[in-house]
A and B are shown apart, each in its own frame.
Chain A
């Protein structure tokens, strides 16, 4: 039996001078949820496109269930379900017509197709509205059909490219739950997102991407260790951040201070010890701290630590 569902080896893709994907490698074990976490423009979609044989890599290769994306595209496509980032459905066809059409494209026919379409409609909770044209659906409903299409042929591997962008919290919750349900059915899920919380909640393994490169890889716990068991303190002050920045960096127990958009972020071993000293130092500089927020270590902190910028910009 195969060890890995997906093996990505040194993928490169450039658009002109822009290196959208710049030497990406990672491995996804069978039956796990693997997240590519990164800000917009990191190269997640470009990576997914290469892994679904839509884009030819400039360099490198990948195996999906043992099929090479370069040499065995039909093999790759037959084990794969893809949920594209942008909703890709026929608005002038009903949900049932859409699912039936896409099911045929995956090689389903006759009664097997019909019963599978019914099942998928049930899974995405649209049985009642199956006859309505997709064009009349809300954004969340369209997203659900968009996912449903990729489930029709019960693929071994499913890619989901930012499936929760721009929808209401309730639909988002449904989608996250269904991702876990897919995993429980034995599917391998490659999930991309720029929401740290989603990656943290769902993933067995996470690769953090930025500017075309994987900059960190591991389980959530492993990644958090990169920043040590440090706390993250977010503060605002009633003056220019520059007036305390250098002073705070010298405070005992402080590992890093960054300033962005009038907010200061301090990474520290123990916020309990550091916080009083920060107040003290700012008072000495004639500056008042106006808000304070303390966060236990998370992926956001990891990203900040690795790149010096916030994940969401």
Chain B
């Protein structure tokens, strides 16, 4: 098959060109990498990004005290809570904090502190023996000691945030009890228990550690399925891929003009090979080159940056649409050029300008702007980018197909005009 021989020859030449490979793979990956570093990312767990886990040691020395029955009744029975110190331990051991902190219980304050000193743990929480007693005593002051590794910021901050909320909650209870005692003059434990209970009910939210965490760590909020970093990196990488797919489509279609000028195209026409085969081979090469590029960038994007491009079927649809559109665009643009001398205008002007318009939504970083979205759709890159976002956001097949249909219409028009003009030119 001569058509395959011609395509294979072109692909070989493309991949031998350092310049072409640079623009096809290296630059899009580098730019994405730049954004990745800028936003401080590193590949974490499955979700691609998470806050680091902090090791916490707790020395719970609390000997307990009176007046906790009601408060204790707020906790599950199997938690086996005997004191206010147990409550602190219980709060820090909540399941929904498990991703953020790993809690180890130690017997003595010294052991806890030395765990931090030796950097086995990031934070030590020391609950003094008189913690509950001081709390029970209306005039006492319940104090927790937090000992932390000075080089760490995030982990200890989270721990302190959780503890502060907790302490605020219980001191609020204490103030409420104090108020009630002062006003009624009664120090009947049952009465105090009632006051505590009603206060805790009123401030129920503060007892929920997950709710506390919402304040201190937006990245972990439960409604977000895609981590922040990926909300940025996915579109950037996708945008780069669309931009450079169009670049590759245009550059590889430009080999038609180059070969005409080099004399190899006229020479091909002196061999017993039909015009359809020669043009077909060249166009096939454009398609295959962009296909390889898009496939490689999609794969590397997922592997290096952990980008989730969407479901397999939608990725395939979108990738196919982008490949066809970028190739057709390249053929069309080159068919308008008289010679490669106009390449500067095409690459510096047409490609860059239309690419920038088409990719405006990318650099909105997900903050929706209908104006930019609409403007971007006047260029084919805008539609390719739209398909990509829809795929990443898990759009319905119907929506994706609609975008794909528009892409294919663009492609058909570009391809039709481009091929027609080239056929006329080399007839």
Contact = CB atoms under 8 A, between A and B. Distances in A.
B262 A88 contact: yes
A101 B270 CA distance: 14
B398 interface: no
Contacts of A90: 9, 13, 264
Contact of B5 (A87, A93, A101, A149): A101
Contact of B263 (A53, A87, A102, A105): A87
A80 B262 CA distance: 21
Nearest to A159: B270
Contacts of A84: 263, 266-267, 270
Contacts of B266: 54, 84, 88
Nearest to B263: A88
Which of A88, A93, A105, A149 is packed against the most chain B CB atoms within 10 Å?
A: A105
Contacts of B269: 53-54
A74 B272 contact: yes
Contacts of B2: 104-105
A87 B2 CA distance: 22
Interface residues of A, number: 24
A92 interface: yes
A164 to B, nearest CB: 17
Interface string B254-268: 000000001110111
Contact of B270 (A52, A87, A97): A52
Q: What DSSP secondary structure best describes chain A's contact surface?
A: loop
A149 B263 CA distance: 13
Contacts of B273: 77, 105
- The size class of the interface chain B forms with chain A is 20 to 34
Nearest to B281: A105
B17 interface: yes
B16 interface: yes
A92 B272 contact: no
B61 to A, nearest CB: 76
Contact of A102 (B262, B271, B274): B271
B74 interface: no
A149 B264 CA distance: 11
A222 interface: no
A88 B271 contact: no
Interface in A78-99: 78, 80, 82, 84, 86-90, 92-93, 97
B17 A92 contact: yes
B12 interface: yes
B272 A77 contact: yes
A84 to B, nearest CB: 6
Contact of B271 (A87, A92, A97, A105): A105
12 contacts: A53-B269, A54-B266, A74-B272, A77-B270, A84-B263, A84-B270, A92-B16, A93-B13, A104-B2, A105-B5, A105-B271, A149-B267
In the A-B complex, the 9 residue pairs with the closest CB atoms: A88-B263, A105-B271, A88-B267, A77-B272, A78-B272, A82-B270, A104-B5, A52-B270, A86-B263
Given A90-B13, A93-B9, A106-B272, 14 more contacts: A52-B270, A53-B269, A54-B266, A54-B269, A74-B274, A77-B270, A82-B270, A84-B263, A88-B262, A88-B263, A89-B264, A92-B17, A105-B5, A105-B272
